[in-house]
Amino acid sequence: MVAEISKYKKEYVVKSYEGDCHGFLRLLSLMNWLQDIAVENAQYLGFGFDVCREHNLAWVGSNYVVKIGRLPKIDEHIVIETWPAEGKLWGAVRDFIIRDEQGNDIVRASSQWVLINYELRRPVLLKKYFPEYHFLPERAVDTEFPKIEAPESQSTKEFKVRFDDIDVNNHVNNAVYPLWASESVDSAYRLTHTVEAIEVCFKKEALYGESVEVHCNMQNDESVHVIKDKNSGQELADCRIKWRKITS
């Protein structure tokens, strides 16, 4: 039985180990928070991890668009609000708003998910397995998840997939790809800039032990990244990050 659809809220506090060298919430922690509340809400609504595994299904993220007014700082209390925003043929759209203690919107995000057969790794029809799937027709970010056009690579950085990068679906967790992208940007630039917006398009899963290459092109406070399997050359994800200078 699917629960009645309403916006789901949860309070978070930025722990010291979740802060970066500037005292802001780390990008990896932000992405993990979005996944955390999405999993909780899906479970509550009746189409979460437990129900999916009963039917040999899994939700796989295909896109994220995150708009950041500002990142919360260490010890700051915030509230994340999420809801299913749209149903698709093969999956769904889920949106998020993060608010500070004064109720101000500081982050808005939208994500797109594909429902797959876990063993075959192929998309399945949403309504076939969740005919009572409902959503709130409201968007936190007005986006249709456009394609990220990758310019010529200016630099390349290599990463090895660690055991700790792997999630319950036995592939690299979605939060790791934006981390790889941001890590490919020059460290001196990172010391004076923070993320303003990020788009991610996931294309293929990466597995434990594989080597990945992140190709980066930086132009006018915008970095575009192509993440590839080093051995096969297959694209794993594309990412675009907009940066702004840290002023306080």
Q: What is the tens place of the pLDDT at every residue in 149-177? A: 988 999 999 999 999 999 988 899 999 99
Separate counts of helices (H) and strands (E) for the chain: 5, 11
Residue 151: per-residue pLDDT = 87
The two three-digit tokens of residue 39, written as one number: 């999993």
Kindly report each contact of residues 14-23 with a partner whose C-beta sits within 8 Å and lies 24 or more positions away, as own/partner: 14/72, 14/73, 14/74, 14/75, 14/76, 14/78, 15/74, 16/74, 16/75, 18/74, 19/73, 19/74, 21/191, 22/194, 22/246, 23/73, 23/74
Number of Cβ atoms within 10 Å of the Cβ of 83: 21
Delineate the domains of the chain, giving CATH numbers in brackets.
1-145 (3.10.129.10), 147-248 (3.10.129.10)
Cα 190 from Cα 82, distance rounded (Å): 30
Cα 59 from Cα 52, distance rounded (Å): 8
Residue 190 has phi, psi (to 5 degrees) of: -60, -30
Residue 247: per-residue pLDDT = 87
Cα 22 from Cα 71, distance rounded (Å): 11
Cα 114 from Cα 161, distance rounded (Å): 23
Residue 4: per-residue pLDDT = 63
Q: What is the pTM of this model?
A: 0.94
Residue 206 has phi, psi (to 5 degrees) of: -105, 145
List helix spans (H) across the chain: 27-45, 49-54, 126-129, 176-183, 187-190
Cα 93 from Cα 54, distance rounded (Å): 22
pLDDT by position in tens, the chain (length 248) = 445 678 999 999 999 999 999 999 999 999 999 999 999 999 999 999 999 999 999 999 999 999 999 999 999 999 999 999 999 999 999 999 999 999 999 999 999 999 999 899 899 999 999 998 999 999 999 999 999 998 899 999 999 999 999 998 889 999 999 999 999 999 999 999 999 999 999 999 999 999 999 999 999 999 999 999 999 999 999 999 999 999 87
Is residue 32 classed as helix, strand or coil in its secondary structure? helix
